[in-house]
Structure 1
Amino acid sequence: MSRKRVIFCDFDGTITVNDNIVAIMKHFQPPGVDELIRQVIDKEISIRDGVGRMFALLPTSRREEIVNYAIGNAKIRDGFRELVEYCARENIEFLVTSGGIDFFVYPLLSGFAIPKDRIYCNASDFSGSTIRIEWPHACGPECSNDCGMCKTTIMRRYPPSAYERILIGDSVTDFEGAKLADVVFARSHLVQLCEELGLSYNRFETFHDVIRGLAAAGVR
């Protein structure tokens, strides 16, 4: 019996054209944030540590301004709606596996036919003086990378004996997942990371490229 196909799709810089966390930090520019961004990209600190420390620099008194900027500034990548529709039509399970934060991920995806229990992201707490990030999907026992939102832990719930695992992503947060995936669609930093380790990947710029790649692999 053929394996069921399941897609694990990143959000920031993948579903959206820009990286929303970086955009928020660049716009509000709290002191020290540029160094934290660099340390995460260069893997000097974990993703969870870096993201948590970045948002702790932002006061909750600016909540409305921050939320409105995050939602208003984001642009959905071309072809995303068509990809979601394609997956529904072709019985491909589609999951959003995002290192982003709930206050912008959920609103930006609300216009697409994606069940909320298929959207995995980090949570936020605005009850204190600064924003606190919560981690409802932290690393399981098989991952020690302190991911925050652990994509590999979610992927391991779909065993390779039963599922063909397809990852779509763009950056360091997708790298460990790319090692587990049967098929990788990559852009930006993930392309470089795949090439450094000799991982096979398909380059994409829009989701129309992804649809064509899926169709070429026999999903019609």
Structure 2
Amino acid sequence: MKKVFLIDFDGTVTKVDTVDLMVKKFAKDGWQYYEELWEKGEMSTEECAIETLKLMEMDEKRLLDLLYTIEIDDYFMEFLEFCSTKGYEVVIVSDGYDFNIKAIMEKYRFNVKFYSNKLWFEDGKIKVDFPYKSRDCNKCGMCKLEVLKRYKSRGYYVVYIGDGYSDLCVAKHADEVFAKDVLEKYCRENGIPHIPFKNFGDIIEKIKAINLMAVYRLNNWR
């Protein structure tokens, strides 16, 4: 069976949330109100983004300068190499912005397929678009569940890796879940099977252990 890893970006691939960082760096006071509503599920990602961006004072250069300071997980590049050798597909699913993802991929020189919201600069203004939002739910700007369903319909075994609020819905439907922080707490409280992790080094070792156990069971079954 084909296997794909769907991976959250902000706070999972990166050590810090790039959207949170740019908001704290460039937004005037008042953004906290919208973030609180979003975390409670009382405001969609799209609504939160539009209102927050009204408070932001930044241009393309200032945002890039900030993004180029951000570090990724110490073992993420090793994880990509591991998946490549095993023939596993890797796809980033993010409720953040393509501008941020592209900047980080350029900095670290890797290229991974991704789905996300869009952000660009036009005539001195910040523009955003949400091409992957769900028609049935307005919680997230980019519906990770719809991506998961597309891979499942094509016969993939789907492993999800995440840490935050935009990962809660999709975690219920994955074949296997690696979780930390907010997502780990949610899985634990709601009885969702998951494997806790701190970094991608943990994930590599746990996948190896799972694979060895599967081989052991197969050999003993025979």
Give the alignment's TM-score, normalised by structure 2: 0.87
Tell me the number of residue pairs that the alignment of Structure 1 and Structure 2 aligns: 212
Aligned-residue offset at 1:93: 0.7
Question: In structure 1, what is the Cα distance between the partners aligned to 2:103 and 2:43?
Answer: 29
Matched, 1:71 2:68: yes
CA shift in 2, pair 1:197/1:67, >3 Å: same
Matched, 1:210 2:208: no
| 4+ aligned runs moved over 4 Å, structure 1 | none
Q: Secondary structure at the match of 1:158?
A: helix
Matched, 1:104 2:103: no
Matched, 1:173 2:166: yes
Matched, 1:200 2:197: no
Alignment counterpart, residue 31 of structure 1, candidates 17, 24, 29 = 29
1:35-55: CA deviations, max 9, x gaps? Answer: 111221222211222123222
1:47, 1:173 within 8 Å by CA — same for their partners in 2?
Answer: no
Give % identity.
Answer: 28
1:55, 1:130 within 8 Å by CA — same for their partners in 2?
Answer: no
Runs of 5+ unmatched residues, structure 1:
none
Question: In structure 1, what is the Cα distance between the partners aligned to 2:183 and 2:176?
Answer: 13
- Rg bigger for which structure? 2
Alignment counterpart, residue 11 of structure 1, candidates 9, 12, 26 = 9
Runs of 5+ unmatched residues, structure 2:
216-222
Question: In structure 2, what is the Cα distance between the partners aligned to 1:113 and 1:59?
Answer: 30
Matched, 1:132 2:121: no
CA shift in 2, pair 1:146/1:38, >3 Å: closer
Letter paired with 2:162: G
1:155-198: CA deviations, max 9, x gaps? Answer: 11112672111000000111111011011111111111112211
CA shift in 2, pair 1:97/1:11, >3 Å: same
CA shift in 2, pair 1:63/1:14, >3 Å: same
2:98, 2:118 within 8 Å by CA — same for their partners in 1?
Answer: yes
The structure whose residues are more often helix, as a share, is: 2
Give the alignment's TM-score, normalised by structure 1: 0.88
What is the Cα-based RMSD across aligned positions, in Å?
2.0
Question: In structure 2, what is the Cα distance between the partners aligned to 1:103 and 1:41?
Answer: 23
